[in-house]
Every structure is written in C-alpha cells, then in structure tokens.
Amino acid sequence: MLADLAQINGAQLPRLARLAAGHDAAHTIPQDLEPSPVFPRAAVSKDIVERGRRLISGGKVAAFTVAGGQGTRLGYDGPKGCFRISPVRGKPLFQLFAESILATRRKFNADVPWYIMTSPANDAATRAFFDANGCFGLPREDVLFFQQGVMPAFDAAGKILLDQPHRVALSPDGHGGSLLALATTGMLADMARRGIVHISYFQVDNPLVYCVDPVFIGLHDARGSDMSSKTLPKADDLERVGNFAMTGGRVVVIEYSDLPEHLARARNPDGSRRFNAANIAIHVLSRAFVERLTADRASFALPWHMANKKVPFVDPDTRRRVEPEKPNAVKLESFVFDALPLAENPVVMETSRDEEFSPVKNATGVDSVESARRDMSHRAARWLSAAGFSIPMKAAEDPDGLFEVSPLVALEAEDLIARRMTVFPIARGESVYLE
Ligand code: UTP
C-alpha cells in the first residue's frame, strides 16, 4: 500500500479528486477556434529533406515509442507491440518498428537509439519479448525501456479506489505522462549524452508509421519548431480523431468528443471541411523543449482528461472485490498533444493516410487488425507496382493477393524503386513477401 501511495503525486491529489468528482470543469472549448494551417509533405523542399537526412546521419535523432497503454479494446493478452500484425509474415508491431529503425541506421550509417515507454503492467513482458528476440537485430544498448507514471482511479465522489485491500487501483497516466517520465527516468539525460537533438515520437499501434522520417524531421528543424505533428484529412466529419485548431495564436488539438458537432460539420465557402486536420499522434519533439517543460518536475502537468471506465474495486463495506458491469470509476489521463500550445513555432505537416496511418485499436471493424492488415498489404502492392511489378487486381485499388515488403528492404516506395529489382510474375491470390 505504501509503495502504491508513493507513486501518487500527493500535492496534486486534492485537485485531482475534485476533478474526478466533477467539481472542477476539466475543459472548456475556446470561442475563437480557427482551423490550423497545415504544410503539405509534397511541398517540403529538397534542401529541407537534405537537412533532415543530415540530422539523422549525424546521430541527432532518436526514435520514441509510447507503449504503456492497456490496449483494452484490442483485448490481446500481452503488450500490444507483441501483437502479430503484418499480412504475410505475421510480424509483431515491435518487430516492424525495430526493422524500420535498423534500416534507417543502415541507410544513414548512424546510431538511432530507440526509447520505449512501458507501464508497470507491461514492462516486464515487453523487455522479455525483446530479449527473447535478440532486440530484432538492434544493438542492445540502443534500445532503452522506461516506465511511465501511474494515476489512481477515483469513484464518483472523488475517493481513490482500492484494487485489493492493500493495493491502490492504479493505471498508466496517459501518453502525456511520457514527457515527465522521460525526465524522471534519466532518459532525457541519456539523450543529451548521446547528442540527440530531436525525438521522433509515435504510438505502438500504427504499423504504417514512418518511424524516422527525414522530411518531417527536416521541416521541424528548419522551422525552429519545439514540437511538430503529422496530420491528414479527416475521413468524415465525425471521425474519432483529434482536430488540429488554433486559439489565441496557439496550435491545439480538440478531441472529437469535445468538438461541438456544428464545428465538426462546418464547411468553407468552397464546400471543403473547415476543421479537417486529423491528429494521428505522430510528432517530432525537440529535446530542449521537453527539458524546458519538465525543468520544474514538481509543478509540471499537462491538463487531465477524464474517462468513465469499469475498474474492479474493493467495496469498503463488505471488503469484497467487485467486478463492475458498468463504468464505476473516473480515470484521469494526460495527452501528449496538450504540449502543443506550449510549443514555439509548431508545424503541422499533412501526409497521406494510405501511406502512413492505420491504427490497430479494435479486433474487428474500424481501426482494427483487419483494416491495418489490409492497408499494409495495399501499400506494399502500390510500392511493388511503382517498382515495376505487375499486380493482379480484383478492382481498382483492391489488389488480388497479400503483399508485404520488409522495412529492411524499403522504408518508402523510392527505396524499392532505387533497388532496380528484377521483376517476377505475381499470380492472382498469391502471398508475396519481399525481404
Ligand atoms: P490509446 O489511447 O489507444 O490507449 O493509446 P490504449 O491503452 O493503447 O488502448 P485502449 O484505449 O485501452 O483500447 C494510444 C497510444 O498511447 C500509448 C498506447 O500504448 C498507444 O501507443 N499509451 C496510452 C501509453 O503509452 N500510456 C498510456 O497511459 C496510455
């Protein structure tokens, strides 16, 4: 019990309990909300891309994955990163990222350390997975794990719930917790020692992510940005993604649940969607920015977001553990995008959904295992076609077969084209894996 309590920030507790009990308004939507300007990826100049390449080859860029989430929607028994996602080989998410980072190291002949944030619930299993797989070929000393902070679950009256008579009900404090955790665990100091300038941030659930993208890194650096973000046009007005917007001259992200419907449906004079820039949780953060934010560790906190969840708890009257059937608890989490309004010169770069975003949130349906496998296969088919292969098609944009290109072969279509491979015939319905 004492060890659990020691993990809670006591100074913040009264405010958190008031928040959980609904006595403090958590968020209000600003009245002056405007769409955020976006910079198209295709408009990034050659000089800027070269700048990004030089930063990577100079060893100034680290990869950073937040993997502390509980992945409840997927319902997989283990860290989400261990889930086998790739369409032909069934490679786990972590392996795809590891190979992508390994390919970046080879391409740029540089060290690219990889920081992975876990949580108390999945830290041991995550480390064991990497150990069992020899870090997928990456040097052991360049894969660094650290744990994020935790937050107690509250009941509707703002009281902390117990998970066991002697244990507090704790859960990870959100991906926003990554900034403080980088500081408190010594990872920022490790980055400084290695001469890291920029941190390429991505989530564990997006198998299409371009882990270390020279275009994005070059643009972030050239603009003197503290924190940059990738965006893409929303799939529909009410898509369940955050929206990039501006208020008081600052870039912010408004969650889909907080954006009033009339704004979500608003149109520009030309008929296009007014708030159209989706947050896909891919960022570059300057190390100096994270250092500045977390310099005063005791007072640094991003805003807390509340969610009503089912949390097993010990009934104080009966002292029995109850598995609730409906949400009984308030969980508080902070989100990394709430650091954006604190950033100077933030850049929001627009990229393509087909190329870079297909998150694995659910087992089936939207943003699922199925849709991510399909999108991986479709992207690989497009790359193969660009490299001269003839891809059998069922219909337009629906290739007939399963396709997978190892990140060790190509990080983008241009890599595959540059290989000038001998083209081989592909039969209908075939599974093609390129390594
Ligand atoms: P999600 O918001 O999708 O949450 O996390 P989740 O916990 O993975 O899944 P559900 O909601 O329980 O189904 C987005 C990303 O942020 C990380 C996750 O690991 C994922 O990469 N994350 C989330 C953390 O690292 N820590 C957290 O406390 C929460």
Residue 167 lies in a domain: yes
List, in order, residues 6 or more apart from 26 with CB less than 8 Å away: 19, 303, 304, 305, 306
Are residues 133 and 71 both part of a single domain?
yes
- Paired with 348 in beta bridges are 229
Instruction: Find the domain containing 384 and state its range.
Output: 368-435
Among residues of the chain, what percentage have pLDDT more than 90?
93
Best residue among 96, 150, 175 to mutate for probing ligand 1's pocket (most ligand atoms within 8 Å of CB) is 175
Q: What is the pLDDT of residue 392?
A: 98
Q: Is the dihedral of CA 64, 70, 74, 79 positive or negative?
A: positive
Residue whose Cα lies nearest atom 27 of ligand 1: it is 174
Best residue among 171, 205, 360 to mutate for probing ligand 1's pocket (most ligand atoms within 8 Å of CB) is 205
Check pLDDT > 90 for residue 136. Answer: yes
Tell me, in angstroms, the distance from the centre of ligand 1 to residue 49's CA.
31
| Total count of domains within the chain | 2
Q: What is the pLDDT of residue 27?
A: 66
Residue 230 lies in a domain: yes
Residue 361 lies in a domain: no
Q: What is the pLDDT of residue 343?
A: 98
Q: What is the pLDDT of residue 29?
A: 85
Tell me, in angstroms, the distance from the centre of ligand 1 to residue 169's CA.
18
Are residues 346 and 422 both part of a single domain?
no
Residue whose Cα lies nearest atom 16 of ligand 1: it is 175
Beta carbon of 67 within 6 Å of any ligand 1 atom? yes
Are residues 345 and 417 both part of a single domain?
no
Q: What is the pLDDT of residues 75-116, one digit of tens each?
A: 999 999 999 999 999 999 999 999 999 999 999 999 999 999
Structural domain ending residue among the three candidates 336, 356, 376: 356
Are residues 288 and 406 both part of a single domain?
no
Residue 414 lies in a domain: yes
Are residues 296 and 378 both part of a single domain?
no
Q: What is the pLDDT of residues 294-342, one digit of tens each?
A: 999 888 989 999 999 999 999 999 999 999 999 999 999 999 999 999 9
Q: What is the pLDDT of residues 395-425, one digit of tens each?
A: 999 999 999 999 999 999 999 999 999 999 9
Residue 363 lies in a domain: no
Structural domain ending residue among the three candidates 300, 330, 356: 356
Beta carbon of 68 within 6 Å of any ligand 1 atom? yes
Q: What is the pLDDT of residues 284-307, one digit of tens each?
A: 999 999 999 999 988 898 999 999
- From the DSSP assignment, how many helices (H) and strands (E) are in the chain? 13, 23
Q: Tell me which residue has tokens 């209000």.
A: 28
Are residues 82 and 127 both part of a single domain?
yes
Residue 279 identity? N
Tell me, in angstroms, the distance from the centre of ligand 1 to residue 172's CA.
9
Q: What is the pLDDT of residue 200?
A: 99
Beta carbon of 209 within 6 Å of any ligand 1 atom? no
Are residues 244 and 393 both part of a single domain?
no
Q: Is the dihedral of CA 277, 357, 102, 335 positive or negative?
A: positive
The whole-angstrom separation of Cα 11 and Cα 89 is: 49
Are residues 257 and 391 both part of a single domain?
no
Structural domain ending residue among the three candidates 356, 391, 413: 356
Tell me, in angstroms, the distance from the centre of ligand 1 to residue 271's CA.
35
Beta carbon of 175 within 6 Å of any ligand 1 atom? yes
Residue 163 lies in a domain: yes
Residue whose Cα lies nearest atom 22 of ligand 1: it is 69
Please provide the average confidence, as pLDDT, over all residues in the chain.
96
CATH number at residue 223: 3.90.550.10
Are residues 147 and 109 both part of a single domain?
yes
Beta carbon of 205 within 6 Å of any ligand 1 atom? yes
Q: What is the pLDDT of residue 195?
A: 98
Residue whose Cα lies nearest atom 23 of ligand 1: it is 69
Q: What is the pLDDT of residues 6-55, one digit of tens each?
A: 999 888 899 999 999 887 665 678 889 999 999 999 999 999 999 999 99
Beta carbon of 283 within 6 Å of any ligand 1 atom? no
Beta carbon of 367 within 6 Å of any ligand 1 atom? no
- The pTM score is 0.97
Residue 144 lies in a domain: yes
Residue 246 lies in a domain: yes
Q: What is the pLDDT of residue 25?
A: 63
Are residues 193 and 82 both part of a single domain?
yes
Phi then psi for residue 395, to 5 deg, are -155, 175
Q: What is the pLDDT of residue 375?
A: 98
Are residues 57 and 202 both part of a single domain?
yes
Containing 305, the helix (H) or strand (E) segment is: strand 305-309
In the predicted model, what is the mean pLDDT of residues 136-148?
98
Q: What is the pLDDT of residues 258-290, one digit of tens each?
A: 999 999 999 999 999 999 999 999 999 999 999
In the predicted model, what is the mean pLDDT of residues 386-390?
97
Q: What is the pLDDT of residues 228-247, one digit of tens each?
A: 999 999 999 999 999 999 99
Are residues 54 and 102 both part of a single domain?
yes
